[in-house]
Amino acid sequence: MARPGAGARVQDATPLNALVMAPDTLIIAYTVSLLAAFSGLGLYSHFLRRRFEPTPTEDRIFRCSTCAFVYTDDADVDRSRCPQCGTVNESIQF
């Protein structure tokens, strides 16, 4: 007489063929995951760098024609007096 359950095989919860992937699928998954990781790191680095960079000012840059001193003044000023020698100068463009 056979005992109940003695000859029965226990089935796995996941079939064996669900764990096997084709090589081309593995290569594509690996490549896509690496590209996503590098893109995420690049975006993180970009936003981190932007946060710590100085913001551009609206000031105008002036160079004195007499003493060659370079200085800045407000954006609404067309001509500015040199703080070293007092000469009035026009703004310069780079």
- Give the tens place of pLDDT for each residue, 18-63: 567 788 999 999 999 999 999 999 999 998 887 777 777 788 889 9
Question: What confidence score (pLDDT) does residue 2 get?
Answer: 53
The Cα–Cα gap between 84 and 61 comes to: 15
Question: What confidence score (pLDDT) does residue 9 get?
Answer: 59
The Cα–Cα gap between 35 and 41 comes to: 10
Rounded percentage of the chain residues whose pLDDT exceeds 70: 79
Ranges of each domain in the chain: 21-52, 60-90
